[in-house]
Structure 1
Amino acid sequence: MDPTLRNATPDDVAAITAIYAAEVRDFVNTYEYDVPDEAEMLRRMRGVLDAGYPYLVAERDGRIAGYAYASGYRARAGYRFTVENSVYVAADQQGRGIGAALLQRLIDECALRGYRQMIAVIGEPANTASIRLHERFGFRMVGVFRGIAWKHGRWLDTVQMQRSLGDGDAAPPPNE
């Protein structure tokens, strides 16, 4: 059964927090050390939504199976047409198409909003599932930052991938 995708709401924050907590505690897909509480995750969600970026959830069997959002890549004005994606899937839902459905919808929504580039920042080259997922959706490897993060007692490399949205860099952005 395909997941149901929809815009995230504050009612989803408990499930989103639980998914993210496992990533913070057990893995290196985020370099955050301390699990944020629901109030902090709600603050972050509101920041994303208030800035006009999409924030999505995937439901399967009546529960949140994953979530994804886009945010600004960097703060300087020249980067305003570039977004960074974040996709997280509950551990027991991985490998069932949740990440692919979320990423496709996120790409589509960002393109509709006029963004021209999407960046994926992937926590270490060993995360081949995320790298393959992004490659399936047209992302290309643009580099690996070596040893830039420390977590779980080891130095971590970070993969950077990129794909164009809409006209990409083939034409100026609208109203420029």
Structure 2
Amino acid sequence: MLEEEYEPRRLAKPFHLRRLDPPEPVFAYEIRPATAKDLPDVRQIYNHYVTNTMVTLDTETRTLRTWRSKFAYLTKLGLPFLVAVSPTGQVLGYALAEPWIQKRSYRFTAEESIYLRPASTGKGLGKALLTALIDAGKQAGLKQLLAVIADGGAESSIALHRSLGFKETGRMGKVAFKFDRWIGTVMMQRTIK
């Protein structure tokens, strides 16, 4: 072959001169008991779901005063209220257990709630919070945890609860009305040992 027929070879740049894509950021968090300072973030997270989804069947947003009252009540009862916090201190989600029914005979049974910032969903945080809540509920003396899940688009929530030992105990159809439609609920229960 003639020298003219050779294609010029491209030499790779030395490694230290190559442009590297930055690594994907790690989704890091710490789960800890909630404090009064976390309540504005908790309120913001919850109110997003009130105004934009059927995940909660509340139709009115909650005030900070309401959250402070709930926090004080759960603290007085010794029931768990947990938050997942980013390394920068932002609340990414929360989980709590509250009395199922206001009768003394139900004192070992609680309804759990878990809510995440929309940007924190799909990353395993819900499972981590629910696992931590189950452990905290056991330490608080709870024997049963209940979940009441709105049935519209609830497949992922039902799957999450099933993966952690919750069993479906019943369904109620068309018991709530929000966003101009009827919504049913799925009841799930887990015994804490």
TM-score (norm: length of structure 1): 0.90
Which of the numbers 109, 121, 124 marks the counterpart of 1:94? 121
Partner of 2:9: none
Distance in 1 separating the partners of 2:87 and 2:141? 33
Distance in 1 separating the partners of 2:142 and 2:31? 21
Matched, 1:17 2:46: no
Shift of 1:72: 0.9
Which of the numbers 3, 13, 33 marks the counterpart of 1:7? 33
Partner of 2:56: 30
Q: How does 1:90-169 map to 2 (within 5 A)?
A: 90-166=117-193
More off after superposition, 107-116 vs 5-14: 107-116
Partner of 1:173: none
Shift of 1:58: 0.1
Matched, 1:53 2:86: no
CA contact (8 A) 1:24 1:32 kept: yes
* Amino acid across the alignment from 1:13: L
Which of the numbers 88, 91, 99 marks the counterpart of 1:72? 99
Distance in 2 separating the partners of 1:8 and 1:77? 25
CA contact (8 A) 1:125 1:159 kept: no
Aligned-residue RMSD, C-alpha: 1.2
CA contact (8 A) 2:30 2:87 kept: no
Shift of 1:125: 4.8
Distance in 2 separating the partners of 1:134 and 1:41? 25
Instruction: Name stretches of at least 5 consecutive residues in structure 2 with no aligned partner.
Output: 1-26
For 1:44-101, what per-residue CA distance to the aligned partner results, in whole angstroms no more than 9, with x for missing partners? 1111111110100001242110001001111122211111101001111101111111
Shift of 1:14: 1.0
For 1:112-151, what per-residue CA distance to the aligned partner results, in whole angstroms no more than 9, with x for missing partners? 2221111011122521111111011000111111000000
CA contact (8 A) 1:147 1:156 kept: yes
- Report SS of the residue matched to 2:136: helix
Distance in 2 separating the partners of 1:32 and 1:111? 28
Equivalences, count: 166
Once superposed, which parts of structure 1, at least 4 consecutive aligned residues long, lie more than 4 Å away?
A: none
- What percentage of aligned pairs have identical amino acids? 33
Shift of 1:156: 0.3
More off after superposition, 52-61 vs 148-157: 52-61
* Amino acid across the alignment from 1:145: M
Instruction: Name stretches of at least 5 consecutive residues in structure 1 with no aligned partner.
Output: 167-176
